[in-house]
Amino acid sequence: MNKVKSLNRKDLLGLKDLSVDEIKLILRTARSMKEVAARPIPKVPTLLGKHIITFFFEASTRTRTSFNMAAKILSANITNVAVSSSSVVKGENLIDTIKNLEVMGVDAIIMRHSMAGAPHLAAKNSKVVVINAGDGFNEHPTQGLLDIFTMKEKKGSVRGKKVLIVGDISHSRVARSNIWGLTKLGAKVVVVGPPTMIPEGIEKMGARVSYDFDKEIVDADFINMLRIQMERQGKGLFPSIEEYAQLYGLNAERMKKAKPDVVVMHPGPINRGVEITSEIADGLNNVILEQVTNGVAVRAALLFLLLGGKNSD
């Protein structure tokens, strides 16, 4: 069977839109990028002369920094536009802002926004590449891809593997991107959390719902712990942090029920002692910092493929 070698799309907005072949192409390309990133001089001239903008309406450590590193590995120019000191604060709307960036000769805009669909609106109104770096509760496609990349590194394939996604599913764009991508690749995804944090209809995406972490952990291959998003969720979704941690947190006691080779993941940032204890976050089964390392390779792969590169394998 012939492998696809290029992404025939302008933008990367979500894993919902990607075919299995496209996901596999990105992951294959990320493997090559990881090799480049590990070289003593991690630099190739592939995107020389390209201009990339990051435009984040929400805070970020991992995503924005790894896009910056990925761009520099590929020799692209990258500029971080700080929303707080941009003309957005004077009331300039999103489409006008994007059009102004575009006419300066920008080739790609990497955007994070609190509103679901904001990158889609930007993409529709722009000729340049738009990459979604997280939009509201909708998707965080590059996180989903780096999570799947990490899972494949650990266990070869995700097909048939049981993946628990635990926590605040309702407010999690990471959960949605993981569910879209993992179910397409044949994983068995179970979302686990209190009923107040699991949105109605999530089963339609291909995930099974469970409220019982202790039952599901026993035969899980991967446990992806989500951050409790204090800044988004409002009040009253669970009685107390202590009760949440007791029922849905990952701690040493609960880990005793898991398979010895279970892989523990977290997209970061971590609320230590809430969704995961430090003992587990820093323990033997975790790949949390490997996920961060892989974020550079996956984002480099996307920049390469969306800005004109072809995979040569």
Is 90 a known ligand-binding residue? yes
CA end-to-end span of the chain, whole Å? 13
Other CB atoms within a 10 A radius of the CB of residue 69 amount to 18
User: Catalytic annotation on 140?
Assistant: yes
Distance CA 136, CA 14 (A): 12
User: Catalytic annotation on 97?
Assistant: no
Least distance in angstroms from the C-beta of 68 to ligand CP: 11
Choosing from 46, 54, 63, 150, the catalytic residue is: 63
Choosing from 112, 152, 171, 266, the catalytic residue is: 112
User: Catalytic annotation on 50?
Assistant: no
User: Catalytic annotation on 65?
Assistant: no
Distance CA 101, CA 267 (A): 30
In the complex with ligand CP, the residue whose CB is nearer, 46 or 68, is 68
Choosing from 113, 140, 188, 299, the catalytic residue is: 140
Distance CA 166, CA 190 (A): 8
Residue type (1 letter), 185: L
Q: Which residues bind ligand CP (CB under 6 A)?
A: 60-63, 134, 140, 143, 267-269
Least distance in angstroms from the C-beta of 134 to ligand CP: 6
Give CA angle at 265 (179, 280), nearest 5°. Answer: 145
Distance CA 243, CA 98 (A): 44
* Preceding omega of 42 cis (within 30 degrees of 0): no
Choosing from 90, 204, 235, 256, the catalytic residue is: 90
Least distance in angstroms from the C-beta of 55 to ligand CP: 14
User: Catalytic annotation on 28?
Assistant: no
Q: Report residue 77 CA to chain centroid gap.
A: 23
In the complex with ligand CP, the residue whose CB is nearer, 34 or 64, is 64
Is 227 a known ligand-binding residue? yes
Distance CA 8, CA 18 (A): 11
In the complex with ligand CP, the residue whose CB is nearer, 72 or 99, is 72
Is 173 a known ligand-binding residue? yes
Longest dimension (CA), the chain: 57
CA nearest to 286, candidates 243, 242, 251, 246: 251
Other CB atoms within a 10 A radius of the CB of residue 21 amount to 13
In the complex with ligand CP, the residue whose CB is nearer, 42 or 268, is 268
Is 143 a known ligand-binding residue? yes
Is 299 a known ligand-binding residue? no
Distance CA 120, CA 116 (A): 9
Q: Which residues contact 196 (CB under 8 A, 6 or more apart)?
A: 170, 236, 237, 238
Least distance in angstroms from the C-beta of 5 to ligand CP: 29
In the complex with ligand CP, the residue whose CB is nearer, 46 or 54, is 54
Choosing from 5, 16, 31, 62, the catalytic residue is: 62
Least distance in angstroms from the C-beta of 274 to ligand CP: 16
Q: Which residues contact 282 (CB under 8 A, 6 or more apart)?
A: none
In the complex with ligand CP, the residue whose CB is nearer, 29 or 172, is 172
Least distance in angstroms from the C-beta of 276 to ligand CP: 14
Point out the annotated binding site for carbamoyl phosphate. Answer: 62-63, 112, 140, 143, 268-269
Annotated binding-site members for L-aspartate: 90, 173, 227
Catalytic residues, which ones?
Answer: 62-63, 90, 112, 140
Residue ranges at the known binding site: 62-63, 90, 112, 140, 143, 173, 227, 268-269
